[in-house]
Amino acid sequence: MTKKIKRMGKASTPTRTQDPEGTRQDILEVASKEFALNGLSGARIDEIAARTKSSKRMIYYYFGDKEGLYLKALENAYRLVREGEAKLDTEGMEPMEALKRLVEFTFDHHHQHEEFIRMVMIENIHHGQYLERSKAIRDLNVTAIDHIGRIYKRGIASGVFRKGLDPIDLHWQVSALCFFNVSNRATFSRIFGRDIGATEAQTRLRRNTVDMVLRFVAKTSALPRD
């Protein structure tokens, strides 16, 4: 009888999961969608557990509580975009082409990951208080500034970028254009009666976004002549 109870106790422990990292990642992905849809206060752990075929106990085992899960989901969202940037291999490109590629990636990533935009919007509603607790997010975003800063420095050295720009300001401008494309798509489409999310519109806006950033950064003499 004692052995039977012991076996039952082990079977209910989350560490017995055959793929704990896979389970954890699955919970994070589902949680990201739940938080993006309903916010921190509206998200339900029961719903996340049901959609991952796990249990509340397992979720609390991995993440502590709902706020802990929310913070890890936020960290994971930032990690995905920064990992994507790291794979671009812009070091071997000419500065203008490297910046173009980075802007294109940012536009595409935000378009394809609406939950990332919504989670950032939700965190802004919370005045960044959860993000402030995370050293991981701060470290991840340092790499974003380093990346665009290196491209800008090479552009200055080769004489194609104008001097006097702050890489953080440049990152802000790129993020603003690509972020607004998702965050305000629904309201903009309703107000002006035009589907901003349509393929033709997105193709045009992507091209315009790249053009605006390059023209902002480039020396006049480096811009292509029409």
Contact predicate 129/198, CB 8 Å: no
d(Cα 169, Cα 166) in Å, to the nearest integer?
5
* pLDDT values of the chain reduced to their tens digit, one per residue, 226 residues: 444 434 334 444 444 456 788 889 999 999 999 999 999 999 999 999 999 878 899 999 999 999 999 999 999 999 999 999 999 989 989 999 999 999 999 999 999 999 999 999 999 999 999 999 999 999 999 999 999 999 999 999 999 999 999 999 999 999 999 999 999 999 999 999 999 999 999 999 999 999 999 999 999 765 665 5
69: nearest Cα among 124, 32, 103: 32
d(Cα 226, Cα 223) in Å, to the nearest integer?
9
Report all structural domains of the chain as residue ranges with CATH numbers, in order of start. 1-64 (1.10.10.60), 71-222 (1.10.357.10)
Angle at CA 39, nearest 5°, toward 29 and 179? 75
SS3 label, residue 107: helix
Q: pTM to 2 decimals?
A: 0.85
